[in-house]
Chains A and B, each alone.
Chain A
Amino acid sequence: MKTSLSALSLVLAIALAAAAASRFVWLLPLLAVALPYGTLAIFLAGLSWRVVCWSRSPVPFRIPTVCGQQKSLAWIKSARLESPHSTPGVVARMALEILLFRSLFRNTRSRLEDGPRLIQREAKWLWLGALAFHWSLLIILLRHLRFFVEPVPKVAVLLENLDGFFRIGAPVLLVTDVVVLAALLYLLQRRFRDPQVRFISLFTDYFALLLLLGIAATGVWMRYFARVDAVAVKQFVLSLTIFAPALPKNPGPLFFAHFALAGTLAAYLPFSKLMHMGGVFLSPTRNLANNNRRKRHINPWNYPVKVHTYEEWEAEFRDKLEAAGLPVERP
């Protein structure tokens, strides 16, 4: 409880501080120029540093977690996706993992009933919630391209049209806006309600969720209720992209709250568990083929170790070998 409240306070504080600061003209350069460039720089530097760190550690052993039949005898059908034996199989396995969260789809929930009977039942909600969240977020990010590029890229237009498929309200209600909020709320309540998950949750777990929730909420508010001047926002953002920042013509405190939260997320991301985004690509239990006996894997730091050689062994047990009539090298 304490950790989740402090995470909430921190998110609110950032949003409120940004909103309040936007009232003071002399603070605008800080908010509209230093903040975006600063957080972007931290994001890029942090990200590269992290990835360099990971890639500097080698993969000494080929340790896939195999989830299906190996490729062995010709007449036994191997599981190409769950136990890939070649690169295309690995790529497909990774694609399933990254795009559809294959492993999470396996999720079960266990229950101990009288008897005793321990039952493992399918449990797909977490998978659904996670998938809904990540895909909505991706679409929303791509939709945001319309603020960054002129003319608006085709994908952004297309996505927005698809997203507004139901044509409800004005401005048109976008499905992903609803889904992202619902999914985040689901994930958050799960952290509170499930005793096991609550027990393992750290400050950062609440903070990440609440930060995203804050960003989504301010965004939705701007679009549907506050009706922030999108043209002004776009001019401002475009000016940032060409490194000629033009201070915005007052898009309002809400915009800056959104902006500052997004900046915080960018700067926080490389130092947090949110790096799972990049890490999942590198996971050695998933991105290696199960062809261990077919193809030798090289360990760059393989070093000689102290072994007990046959000669030493024979010397130690010579009497016994001879007494048992077993052949020896040096009679």
Chain B
Amino acid sequence: MSQPKPEQLVQIQYGPQPRDWMDPAVEFRKGTFCYSALAKNLNYLGLPNARDWQPFDEDWKLPPDWKRIILDGMKERLEKFRSFRLFMDICVRCGACADKCHFFLGSGDPKNMPVLRAELMRSVYRRYFTLAGRLLGRLAGARDLTEDVIKEWFYYFYQCTECRRCSVFCPYGIDTAEITMIGRELLNLIGCNINWVLEPAANCFRTGNHLGVQPHGFKDSVDFAVDELEELTGIRVDASINRKGAEVLFIVPSADYFGTPHYYTFLGYLALLHEIGLDYTFSAFASEGGNFGLFNSHEMIKRLNAKVYAEARRLGVKWILGGECGHMWRVLHQYMDTMNGPADFLEVPVSPVTGTRFEHARSTKMVHICEFTADLIHNGKLRLDPSRNDHWTVTFHDSCNPARAMGLLEEPRYILRSVCNRFHEMPENTIREQTFCCGSGSGLGTDENFEMRMRGGLPRANAVKYVHQRHGVNLLACICAIDKATLPPLLEYWVPGVEVAGVHELVGNALVMRGERPRLTDLRGEPATQAEAVHA
């Protein structure tokens, strides 16, 4: 597939639109959508209407009573979620959210304005659930539910990364991600899902992680990392798996031990946890912190998340530590305790090194590794040599979920300032709670969706470009596994010359370990001297 060039892609028209949005029209152009979920994945998870189909097919092979299923599903969810009902009712179409969505900014497609994305659903809500819509139809902004509307839902609900940036700007806090989530849930009822979400979900349900890594494979990767770290530092760390009686269960996104550049972050974790002597274990069963259920349905979140507490209970740990991942932390922070708690069999997390009680996690009993590390650094428990990161000029990308679901803003920044000497922020309307998404979150990070990802990632890449040109930034640090997978191609496309790393990779570089031999390279295996040369 020939991909459009950046110069072509950036010819974006935000101008007036010729047609009324109420007429459903969607063109499944290659590069702008994700392929359907394979039947085997639906079957494995017990989801309805498994079949062979693709979005560009004329006939989507919907079940005969698909309309009733959708409307019943809507009714049920209107009664179950105040958010949904309220967000259907109170939007005033002020347009404040319109140019806040990276997909709109990158594509100019008006239906990517959060308000209109939501109106695709709202118009159906009005038609079947409000008096005015039933009586007045189009005049009241109501429209019939047709197959074309379903296609439009599919296209635009899978063109929203559920990043919640729009919600920050809406005067009523209307969260289009919430509407998209429920929209996907409804589509799921008639078997309209994408493979990039359902395959990881099915894998995760079966093996414990998205990548489908089986226990022996998990052990191999951890062992491999241990060997590699020994080569780099001269220190052999101990990383146990499924060990009962450990104090802490450490759960990371599976990409950390299988993907690059995630892997260097994984090395960073291993080095850090060894250095402070934490008594922890991994689990091959709970070998995934991420949860693609979040991109499928509330029920699937719960099904996939259940293993976290189950495993903590089985292993008899005191509390749980979580690695760098964005959507994983949305689930852990906002859903886990409610869905699968109470975690009354665990203890309030206490750092055995500093004695800090993590009161803010007293119920959920799970601590983010950035919180944990920031506490270590603040208490002077780590010996750090930030000059070992001098080959990097760093900026920080707030991943959507840690920023807008948790408010984890200062911890990673504090760590970065402690482990590297050169740090520059991107412009303020593009970071913290206003951060721009990588454009590939919520299960859209697949190759067939390349053009749309590059479009969606434009605002983020553009801010990176600004600091790249102004301050010579050559490294984008982040704390999200999806970011680490999808930002490298994005930056290569828009801002060549900027790499991507996890925060704990930089921690691992700067960490002076007891008994280590002089580090000739950083965790990537790049010679430290070469780095010196660059800045000479």
Q: Which residues of A contact B (CB under 8 A)?
A: 3, 6, 50, 53-63, 65-73, 75-79, 82-83, 85, 97, 101, 103-104, 106-110, 112, 116-118, 120, 126, 130, 194-205, 271-276, 279-280, 282-286, 290-299, 301-302, 305-310, 313-314, 316-317, 320-321, 323-327, 329
| 10 smallest beta-carbon distances between A and B, as pairs | A70-B407, A279-B90, A285-B173, A293-B364, A324-B216, A120-B429, A286-B173, A197-B95, A66-B407, A276-B90
**B390 located at the interface, meaning its Cβ lies under 8 Å from any Cβ of chain A in the complex:** no
Bound Cα distance A256, B341 (Å)? 60
Contact B16 A317 (CB under 8 A): no
- Interface contacts (Cβ under 8 Å), in number, total 313
Shortest CB distance A315–B (Å): 12
Contact B139 A203 (CB under 8 A): yes
A-B contact pairs, 5 of them (CB 8 A): A196-B98, A196-B113, A280-B171, A294-B361, A327-B242
Contact A76 B411 (CB under 8 A): yes
Q: A195-B15, A271-B132, A326-B241 are in contact. Are A200 and B83 (CB under 8 A)?
A: no
Contact A71 B360 (CB under 8 A): yes
- For B389-418 the 0/1 string (1 means CB < 8 A from A) is 000000000000001111111110010000
Residues from chain B with a CB closer than 8 A to the CB of A72 are 358, 360, 371, 408, 411
- What is the interface of chain A mostly: helix, strand, loop, or mixed? loop
Contact A280 B410 (CB under 8 A): no
Contact B90 A275 (CB under 8 A): yes
Q: A116-B462, A283-B173, A324-B215 are in contact. Are A310 and B285 (CB under 8 A)?
A: yes
Bound Cα distance A73, B360 (Å)? 8
A299 to B, closest residue via Cβ: B338
**B168 located at the interface, meaning its Cβ lies under 8 Å from any Cβ of chain A in the complex:** yes
- What is the interface of chain B mostly: helix, strand, loop, or mixed? helix
Bound Cα distance A101, B92 (Å)? 14
**B356 located at the interface, meaning its Cβ lies under 8 Å from any Cβ of chain A in the complex:** yes
Residues from chain A with a CB closer than 8 A to the CB of B167 are 65, 285
Shortest CB distance A81–B (Å): 12
Contact A299 B89 (CB under 8 A): no
Contact A273 B338 (CB under 8 A): no
Q: Which residues of B contact A (CB under 8 A)?
A: 10, 12, 14-17, 21, 46, 78-86, 89-96, 98-100, 105, 110, 113, 115-116, 119, 130-132, 139-141, 164, 167-175, 178, 205-208, 214-216, 219-220, 241-244, 284-285, 298-299, 302-303, 306-307, 310-311, 314, 333-335, 337-339, 341-342, 356, 358-364, 366, 371, 374-375, 378, 403-411, 414, 427, 429-430, 432-434, 458-459, 462-463, 466
Shortest CB distance B12–A (Å): 6
Interface centre among B113, B333, B358, B407 (most CB of A within 10 A): B407
Residues from chain A with a CB closer than 8 A to the CB of B314 are 310, 329
Identify 13 new A-B residue pairs, CB closer than 8 A, beyond the known A279-B90, A280-B90. A83-B407, A103-B96, A108-B99, A118-B463, A203-B140, A283-B86, A283-B173, A292-B333, A292-B337, A302-B339, A310-B314, A324-B219, A324-B220
Shortest CB distance B13–A (Å): 10
Bound Cα distance A3, B139 (Å)? 8
Bound Cα distance A82, B403 (Å)? 12
Shortest CB distance A121–B (Å): 8
Q: A282-B82, A307-B306 are in contact. Are A296 and B342 (CB under 8 A)?
A: yes
- Contact residue among B78, B85, B169, B361 (Cβ-Cβ distance under 8 Å from A293): B361
- Contact residue among A67, A126, A202, A286 (Cβ-Cβ distance under 8 Å from B404): A67
Contact B361 A66 (CB under 8 A): no
